[in-house]
Amino acid sequence: MTQSPNAPAAVSGKFVTFEGIDGAGKSTHVNAFVVALRQGLATVGRDVVATREPGGTPLGEALRKLVLDESMDIETEALLMFAGRREHLVKVIEPALARGDWVVSDRFTDATFAYQGGGRGLSRDKLSILERWVQGTRQPDLTILFDLDPAIAAARLAGARAPDKFERESAAFFTRVREEYLRRAEESGGRIVLIDAAQSIDAIAGQLADVFARLGLPGH
Ligand code: ADP
């Protein structure tokens, strides 16, 4: 098909992920971020797909219920995470990016390295094989990591909601999860940007706005 000379150049969308231990404040900020980004992108005729992992598709949401509620072998857990991710990529993420839309996901593969790798001790090599198999070379363009002391996160979560299987884990588990997130951030070549999540909600919104302004994201 020949493109009309006046057609806008094909613009690939961007893939942004939010990460952090449970209770760090991701969900509190992701919605406002999506609203602002959507307003900015509307001016250039692009949309934002807001999604999450585990989940993001009907099959992924069914798997989410299993992995968050049922106890299972560690490797089974990691395989289910990547099975749901494959479905999410094929049905939602890649088509959106190909349309030129942006995708904002509450968690993605960094969480599997942090929780199943750091937290549960599953070998990083196995996770890297699955990452490559399921994603090919696809990686988020930008990851916002909410970094927080697990003791503060636990205090925030106490009474906030009924804890799932992961949220019932020990302080030592979340310390390992946090360490693996920080290790991934160091190795990410700038893809993962840290947010100091110990501050107030307003101060964190300000930190996010600074990151977005620096990156020239639409709507910020
Ligand atoms: P996550 O999605 O990372 O698990 P949430 O956004 O659900 O975390 O936040 C967990 C709890 O902590 C919620 O009750 C939320 O209102 C509260 N919270 C979020 N950010 C802050 C903050 N900066 N200071 C104090 N409490 C916060």
Q: Where are the domains of the chain?
A: 16-213
- The Cα–Cα gap between 57 and 36 comes to 24
- Is the pLDDT at 5 greater than 70? The verdict is no
Say yes or no: CB of residue 28 within 6 Å of ligand 1: yes
Ligand 1 pocket mutation, candidates 156, 196, 199, 201, criterion most atoms within 8 A of CB = 156
SS (H, E, C) the chain: CCCCCCCCCCCCCCEEEEEECCCCCHHHHHHHHHHHHHHHHHCCCCCEEEEECCCCCHHHHHHHHHHHHCCCCHHHHHHHHHHHHHHHHHHHHHHHHHHCCEEEEECCHHHHHHHHHHHCCCCHHHHHHHHHHHHCCCCCCEEEEEECCHHHHHHHHCCCCCCCCCCCCCHHHHHHHHHHHHHHHHHCCCCEEEEECCCCHHHHHHHHHHHHHHHCCCCC
Protein residue with its CA nearest to atom 14 in ligand 1: 160
pLDDT digits (tens, 9 = 90+) for 54-102: 999 999 999 999 999 999 999 999 999 999 999 999 999 999 999 999 9
pLDDT digits (tens, 9 = 90+) for 133-157: 999 999 999 999 999 999 999 999 9
Say yes or no: CB of residue 160 within 6 Å of ligand 1: yes
Residues that constitute the known binding site for ATP: 20-27
Fold of 16-213: Rossmann fold (3.40.50)
pLDDT digits (tens, 9 = 90+) for 169-220: 999 999 999 999 999 999 999 999 999 999 999 999 999 988 878 767 665 5
Query: What pLDDT sits at residue 2?
Result: 41
Q: What is the pTM of this model?
A: 0.93
Task: Tally Cβ neighbours within 10 Å of residue 42.
Answer: 13
- Nearest atom within ligand 1 for CA of residue 24: 3
Say yes or no: CB of residue 156 within 6 Å of ligand 1: yes
